[in-house]
Amino acid sequence: MDQVKKKVSRLKLEYKTRPQKELLIAIPNPYPDREYEEEMVTGEFTSLCPLNPGQPDYATLTIKYVPDKHIIELKSLKFYLTSYRMVEMFYEEATNRILDDLVKAVKPRRMEIVADWNIRGGIGTKISVSYNKKS
């Protein structure tokens, strides 16, 4: 656990034009034999609109997953999500990429991401993506 603490204490967010999946830290699940669901919600997700450079898009993200052997360390998740702040990306790409990066990092049994994007041009958009581990 000391190595995890050191790794988390060394986290540093730099604003780049790409999401920084290397910020994600997986830690051992304290209950790997029990099936339980974890849900994280943030109303502060931001990326940039690729058609109107410099214009931010905002979303409320809900991340639900059933862990297997690892769970996501929450500070690393916050930094990872914040790394999208300077990235130009369509809603669909951002939502799917977050799922792909989190699945690769923690290898959950199941995961679902719901991105509820703020209204732009009079249209609200909600994107849901999911993953189920093959048995």
Rg, Å, the chain Cα set: 15
Annotation says 49 is catalytic: yes
Instruction: Give the DSSP letter of residue 57.
Output: E
Annotation says 101 is catalytic: no
Given 2, 57, 68, 116, the catalytic residue: 57
- The DSSP secondary structure of 69-128, one letter per residue, reads SEEE-HHHHHHHHHGGGG-B--HHHHHHHHHHHHHHHH--SEEEEEEEEEEETTEEEEEE
CA distance 103 to 110: 9
Q: β-strands 123-132, 70-72: how paired?
A: unpaired
Given 49, 68, 100, 116, the catalytic residue: 49
Catalytic residues: 49, 57
